[in-house]
Each structure stands twice: as C-alpha cells, then as structure tokens.
Amino acid sequence: MTKWDLNNFKGIFVAMYSAYDDKGEVCTERVKQLARSYVGTGVKGLYVCGSSGEGILKTREERMKVLEAVMEEVGEELTILVHVGANSTKESVELARHAEMVGADAVSSVPAIYYRLSEHAVEKHWQEMIDSTSLPFIIYHIPQTTGFQLTQKLFKKMAAQEKVIGIKMSGESVFELQQFKANAGKEFLVYNGPDEQFLGGRMMGADGGIGGTYGVMPELFCQLEQLITEGKLAVAQELQFKINSIITKLLSYPSLYGACKYILSLRGIQTGNPRLPLLPVLEADYDSLTELNNKILTVIQKYRER
C-alpha cells in the first residue's frame, strides 16, 4: 500500500503547452489562461513542463515561473504533475524541491539527454530527485527522444520504492506497457503516452493517459475514457479512429505544437509560437487549421449528444 490516494492520479492528464508573449518570453497571464481553460473539461489534471510544454527548452527560472502560475491558478482544482528532468542532476533536484515547495502533487523525469548514459547513471539521476523531496515520483519513459531504453530489470528496482508510484509510458509498444504493469503490480500506475493508441494502452493495463494532443481536444479523450470504463469498446474504437484522423492532420504541419497552439488561438487562448528550434505554423496553413479546428469542435459536439 502507498500513502497516497492513487485515485487522484488516475485518468486524463493534459500535457500542457508552453505559453509565451509575443516576444517569446514566458507570460504568466497566458499560462494561467491556458491552465484555467482545462478546468471543467473532465480532465484529472495537468502535466507541466514536459515535452509538450517545452520544458527542455526553458531555463530553470522559467520552469519555476510556469509552475508557480499554474499552481496559483488551478492548483486547488486539478492534480498537478511536474516534469523536472534536466540534463544535470543538480538542476533536476532544484526543480523537484521547488515543485514540492509550491505544492505540486508529484514530480516526473526523463533520463538526462545528450550523453549516452549507463543504467546505473540513469538510476542515480532519478534517485537523487526521488530522495530530494517527499513527493511521489513518476518515471517518464520516452526512448525515441532520449535514446535510453529502460530495461525491465531497472524498472522493477525503481518501482519497488514507495515514492515511485507510476510511469509515463511514451514508448510505442503496448506490449512493453503491459510488461511494466505486470512487473510492478496492480497498484502501480501506468500512463499511456502515445495519444493515437490510448484505447490500446488502456486495454493493455494503463490507468490513464498523459498526452499533448489532449490539449486541443480534452473532451474527446475524457469521452474515450468514459466509453472504455463503461465497456462500450466498439464506440470507443470508433472515437479513437476519429481522434487519430485529427492527430494525423496535426502531424502534417511544420510542428505539432505550432499547430496545436494556433488552434487554441482560434478559440481565444493565446500562447504564442513554440520556441525554436520548434517551428511555428505557416500563414499558408491558417485556413486548413481553421477547418481542422471546426472538425474537432464538431466531433466534440457529436459525442456530447450521444
């Protein structure tokens, strides 16, 4: 048994986007507006400063500023998971301690990137974060970007600790997801990472999901979760296919995050452009993104009425 109520950590978590002003600087008012927009959609919480939030592209001070704004705006209403991973263990620990200080619910981290690290080095990196706070810790496994393949041996060792309550599984294999669940036990939380296979991940044992495209269609993922919970799998499959057609279109633009942020701007939520080297959308794409936004809103309305 863990000392945390794990029900607070199950469900749909939006991997929150960055929010900059027109000069590309972190804008706390826009951060708050974005965070506020997810309250009432049905999501359990937010995952702050992860891949979708451009955490790796921000300074330590910017990441702290973003988290403080999120906590001030919605910290009492949503469960807040914070990605604190950085290239140096020292900076990661500082971010973890800050997350605890401002009242976040859990911290999470990828392995350090750039250097090809041994398992022992990654274990030490994570352990320093785990030991630095009293918060629960969620492993972030995304080998296609970090270059580190988490073995089941190291995973089982980490998962045996009381503070390590879950893993954000962003690898592409639902078999691997199932193995993480099997090797850690029923209480250990597994979050599906690839949005396009949320249904598959849930069927293979995931307890919920953390995703970037959730940010422009949280209602659809909440509806998909409800259908799965109710055992309406044929309808769930139908909805997953509709979601995947949207994701396929989003991936056709210069950057996924640029496309998502532009869609939010059409709804009156200004978050600025993604930070280079992530690309903004092109003016030539505005019309098709407007059409895509209309499609998303139509699908949301359709499934609300079912």
Mean predicted confidence (pLDDT) in 246-263: 97
Q: Which two tokens stand for residue 206?
A: 């995931």
SS (H, E, C) 61-93: HHHHHHHHHHHHHHCCCCEEEEECCCCCHHHHH
Site of tokens 């009381």: 162
The tally of CA atoms less than 13 A away on the side-chain side of residue 22 is 0
CA nearest 159: which of 131, 135, 134, 187? 187
Q: Residues 138-196: pLDDT tens digits?
A: 999 999 999 999 999 999 999 999 999 999 999 999 999 999 999 999 999 999 999 99
Residue among 17, 47, 140, 303 flagged as catalytic: 140
Residue among 44, 58, 163, 168 flagged as catalytic: 168
The yes-or-no answer on residue 3 being catalytic is no
The yes-or-no answer on residue 140 being catalytic is yes
Please say whether the beta carbons of 199 and 237 come within 8 A. yes
User: How much is the pLDDT for 263?
Assistant: 98
Please say whether the beta carbons of 69 and 45 come within 8 A. no
Q: How far apart are CA 123 and CA 48, in angstroms?
A: 23
Q: How far apart are CA 155 and CA 167, in angstroms?
A: 9
Q: Residues 42-101: pLDDT tens digits?
A: 999 999 999 999 999 999 999 999 999 999 999 999 999 999 999 999 999 999 999 999
Q: Residues 110-149: pLDDT tens digits?
A: 999 888 999 999 999 999 999 999 999 999 999 999 999 9
Eight-state DSSP code of residue 26: B
